[in-house]
Amino acid sequence: MPEKESFSAIILAAGLSSRMGCPKQLLPVDGLSMLDHAIKAALTAGLEPPIVVLGHSAEHIKSQARLLSRCTVAINDYYKLGLTTSLICGIKSSPHETTAFVFMLADQQLVTGTILKKLLNAFEKRRADILNPTYQGKRGNPVIIKSKLQKLLLQAKGDSGARFLFSDPGLTVVPYPVTTTAVIIDIDTPEDLQILGHDELLGKNR
């Protein structure tokens, strides 16, 4: 039997939302804010308490996001330096017993607890160092990474997150094909939000 992992979900929600023009973490979709959708997915998958990394408009988001009370909130004071700083902030806020990090984006509204559970199960069965979902060959999110790579992750720079690890020949990187567009759709602009409402995208992604 594969070893049971101790997963920590890290929801990256510290960005400026510059292309949206307002804090997209709080935009309502189907009765919940975008951030609350991500939290709900993590909770449904049994990843409790998720770690939510906030930065820009942190106090406003804390006062508005309904499900943050079930989370560990980490504040990234260096969010303007890019996504990697939020990844590092989340890792540093994770419990010591964590054996794998589940890096989630706060603007992937179609990623549900059901999808997350499939990824978690696949990670355990495949004995991966890194597992990422793919849709028609395109790499998506959430990405799951073994905590043994923590030292490497903490040395990451710039805005590319953990991408540099995917080309490491010494690691077992498992692409996990899925049949839903959910893993490759995120929301950056008002136009993206409009597209989200289209039936062909919402479909059966749940």
Q: Assess whether pLDDT exceeds 70 at residue 30.
A: yes
Q: Assess whether pLDDT exceeds 60 at residue 202.
A: no
The number of angstroms, rounded, from the C-alpha of 136 to the middle of its chain's C-alpha atoms is 20
**Structure confidence by residue, pLDDT tens digits, 39-97:** 999 999 999 999 999 999 999 999 999 999 999 999 999 999 989 999 999 999 999 99
Of 156, 180, 176, give the one whose Cα is nearest residue 168.
Answer: 156
Say what the pTM is: 0.90
In contact, 7 and 98? CB cutoff 8 Å: yes
Q: Assess whether pLDDT exceeds 60 at residue 1.
A: no
- Residue 173 confidence class, pLDDT cut points 50, 70, 90: very high
* 57 SS3 class: strand
Mean pLDDT over all residues of the chain?
Answer: 89
Structure tokens at 14: 């510290």
Alpha-carbon distance 126 to 185, whole Å?
A: 25
Q: Assess whether pLDDT exceeds 90 at residue 206.
A: no
